[in-house]
Structure 1
Amino acid sequence: MTPADAVAALERVAARDVGRGSAALSRRTAGALRRAADSLLAEPTPEVAILTGCYIPTAHPPAAETDGPLGAIQLAAAIGRLGGAARLVTDEPCAPVVAAAIDTAGLTTAGSATAGLEAAGLIAAGPEAAGLKVPLDVAPLAGYDGWQAATLAGYPELTHVISCERVGPAADGVPHDMRGVDLGAHSAPLDRLYGAGPWYRIGIGDGGNELGMGVLATGLVAAAVDRGAEIHCVTGCEALIVAGTSNWGAAALVGALAVLADDREPLIELLSPDWSRAVLDGIVGRAGAVDGVRRTASPSVDGLDWPAYAEPLAEIERIVRLTG
C-alpha cells in the first residue's frame, strides 16, 4: 500500500458511521486528513494548541466526556515525538478530565494549571509530575476575554490550532450538544481563540456541532444528523476531519503522520489500542469522565463498549504497519 493510499484508507476507517452520518459527511471532506498531516509535517518544529473537552451537564454526575481528551493527548504526544511542541487547552468544567488524560499518558507538566487543580483537590496528584511536557491552559467561564489576551501573549509562535471534539457556536451564537441542549453556561468561548490568529486550523468532529464544522453547508449537516440544522457549528477551519468518534479522527491523524513522516517508529506505540485503553481507563477512574451518549462514567465512548470502539483503532494501526 502506498502512503497516499494508506492515508485515504485511514480517513475512511475513522469515518465509520455510528449513527450520526459521519460516513456521508466525510465524503464531502475527503483529502482533509492528508492536508492536515502535510501541514504539520511541513513545519520543522510545529507549535500546536489543541482545544478539547465537551462537558455533559446532564450526566450522572456531570463531567467532560471520554471522546475528545483521549484523542487530544494522543495527538499532543505524537507532535512531541516528531520534534514539535503541543499544549492542551480546555475550560474549567472539563479541566479535571483533560488533566487526567495528560497525567495518565505520562505527560504531566510541572508548574502548569495541573498543579493548581491538584492543590484545589479537583484531581489527584500523579506520579509523573516532574518535567515540562504538555502544558494545560484552562479557560475560565467568567472573565474569558482577559484570560485569552494573557494566554495568547504567553504563547510561542503557534503554527497550528487543532480542535478535537470541542463544541462551537451554532447560528444562534451558542454551542449545543447532540440533543440540542444549550451548553453556553458550561462552555468557555474557545472558538474565539481558535480563530484569533493566522495559524492553520484543523477541526476533528463527529456530530456537526464541533469547531471546524462550518466548512460544511448547514443543509448537508441537517440531512445527515438529527437536529443538524439546530446544532451545526458555523465556525470553519482549513482542514476538517469527520469521524465516527472524534478520538478515531485523532488516531487517524496520528496514523497519517506516521505514514508520511521520515521515521514512523516513534509513533507506533501511540497507535496501539492498548495505549488508548490505558488513557480511557485513566480519565474515567481518575476524573469521572462520562460516555457522552450513556451519560454515566464508563470506559466507553459514544455508547460503544471497548470491543466495538477498539476495532477502528486496531485497523488504523494495521494500515500503518503494512504501509511501505
Structure 2
Amino acid sequence: MDNLVLDRFHRADTMHLSAQLESLMVACNLRGMGTIRDSGYRGYLQSAVETLLRDRQRVAIVSGFPMGNSFETDGPAGAIALAHGLRKIGSKVALLGITEYAQAMAKALPQAVPDGEGLAASIFAVDPKNTAAQLKAFSVDFRPTLVIFIEVPGSGSDGRYRNMRFEDISASTLEWELLLRAVECPTLAIADGGNELGMGMLRCRLEDMPIACAHASTDELVIADVSNWGAYALLAQASACVRRPLLDGFSLAQCLQALVMEGVVDGVTGAVTATEDGLPLSRSLSFIEGVKALSHPFCVSEIESPAVSQDPLAEALA
C-alpha cells in the first residue's frame, strides 16, 4: 500500500459524500429500502466503510442467491467489484459460495475483471453435505479479519430460507449463519429486500412490509435498491477515504456479460441477460458512473501522492 493517501473519515466533505451516496443508493425505493432509510436508518455507509478499511487485511466475501436452477447476477458482480477494489489496497481476499455457484464464478472471473485469474484462485467452494466442517476449517486456515455477505439468503424465524416471492429455497442454499458463529471478526452485510442474511438488524423496521425477514444480524449493514449497488457505493466512499479510485478498472458491463456466459441470470426476470434485478443495463451503468463521479474529486493519482507510512490506514484510524 505504498503511496496510499488517506483522508480523515469524519471530515465534513466525506460525511456529506456518504449522505449523497446513501440517498442515491435507495432513490428508486424498489423494495422499501428508501422507506427504511427515511425512518431513521442513516449513516450506515460511512460506518461500514470504517469497518471495511480498518479490518481490510483478510476479507472473506460470500455471495450467491439461488434463482431457479441458477443464481442471480445481483451479488456476484458486487462481490467481484469488492474483491477487485480491496486488492488495490493490499487486502487478501477469499470468495465463498456454494459449489455450483463457485464453479460458475471461477469460470467467469478471467473475463470479468483484469485480475480475474488471480481472483479465481481465491475461490472457496462449500459443499452442502459438509458445510459446518468446511466453514470451520476455512475460518481457521484463512483467519478472516472481516466477512462480507452480499445478497446472501438469510433464514427466517422458522429456520427456512425464502426468496422475495416467498418460495422456499432452503434446498438451494447453505446455512451461512454457521460462518457468523465460526469467525471472531467483524461482519458486514449488503442487502436490498429483507430476506438476506444481516437484515435481522432491521427486523423491527420491517414488520409492516410484505417480506420474509431474515433473522440473523451482522455488525454492519448496508442497504440499497440493488445489493450490487451497495457494493459499488461502499467502494466509492472508501475511495474518498483513501483517496484512490477503487472502482477504476472494473467494467460492470464486462463483468455481467462474463457471468451470464456461465448461466447466471437476472434475479427478477430469470432471463440470462447482463442486467441487475430487472433494470435496464443503462440504469445500472448510470448508477455506477454516478457514484464514481461523486468520489473521484476526492482521489489523487499516485504521482501526486506524498510519501506516507507503511500502514497509513492504521495511522489515520489511530
Is the partner of 1:171 in helix, strand or coil? Answer: coil
- Aligned position for 1:211: 197
Q: CA–CA distance in 2 between the matches of 1:236 and 1:323?
A: 32
1:294 Cα offset (Å): 0.4
1:133 Cα offset (Å): 7.0
Are the aligned partners of 1:14 and 1:243 in contact in 2 as well (CA < 8 Å)? yes
Is the partner of 1:254 in helix, strand or coil? Answer: helix
**Which one of 230, 248, 264 corresponds to residue 244 of structure 2?**
264
**Which one of 96, 105, 109 corresponds to residue 113 of structure 2?**
105
Are the aligned partners of 1:299 and 1:306 in contact in 2 as well (CA < 8 Å)? yes
- Aligned position for 2:54: 42
Q: CA–CA distance in 2 between the matches of 1:268 and 1:75?
A: 9
Alignment-mate amino acid for residue 7 of structure 1: S
Q: TM-score, normalised by structure 1?
A: 0.83
Alignment-mate amino acid for residue 95 of structure 2: L
Is the partner of 2:182 in helix, strand or coil? Answer: coil
After superposition, give the CA deviation of every residue in 1:131-189 in whole Å (9 maximum; x if it has no partner): 5775111111112222223222221x311100100011111101110001111111111
Q: CA–CA distance in 2 between the matches of 1:302 and 1:189?
A: 24
Are the aligned partners of 2:73 and 2:256 in contact in 1 as well (CA < 8 Å)? yes
Q: TM-score, normalised by structure 2?
A: 0.84
- Aligned position for 1:283: 259
Does the alignment pair 1:319 with 2:264? Answer: no
Query: Relative to structure 1, is the Cα distance of residues 97 and 223 closer, same or farther in structure 2, using a 3 angstrom cutoff?
Result: farther
Q: CA–CA distance in 2 between the matches of 1:42 and 1:143?
A: 32
Is the partner of 1:195 in helix, strand or coil? Answer: helix
Does the alignment pair 1:140 with 2:127? Answer: yes
Are the aligned partners of 2:98 and 2:127 in contact in 1 as well (CA < 8 Å)? yes
In the TM superposition, what are the counterparts of 1:1-324 in structure 2 within 5 Å?
2-27=13-38, 28-43=40-55, 46-57=57-68, 62-103=69-110, 104-108=112-116, 128=117, 135-155=122-142, 157-218=143-204, 220-224=205-209, 226=210, 228=211, 231-261=212-242, 263-265=243-245, 267-270=246-249, 275-285=251-261, 287-323=262-298
Report sequence identity in percent: 27
Structure 1's unaligned 5+ residue stretches are 109-127
Alignment-mate amino acid for residue 2 of structure 1: D
Q: CA–CA distance in 2 between the matches of 1:76 and 1:46?
A: 12
Q: Which runs of 4+ in 1 moved over 6 A?
A: none
Alignment-mate amino acid for residue 222 of structure 2: I
Are the aligned partners of 1:50 and 1:88 in contact in 2 as well (CA < 8 Å)? yes
Are the aligned partners of 2:97 and 2:124 in contact in 1 as well (CA < 8 Å)? yes
- Aligned position for 1:116: none
1:41 Cα offset (Å): 2.0
Is the partner of 2:189 in helix, strand or coil? Answer: strand
Aligned residues between the structures: 286
Are the aligned partners of 1:2 and 1:323 in contact in 2 as well (CA < 8 Å)? no
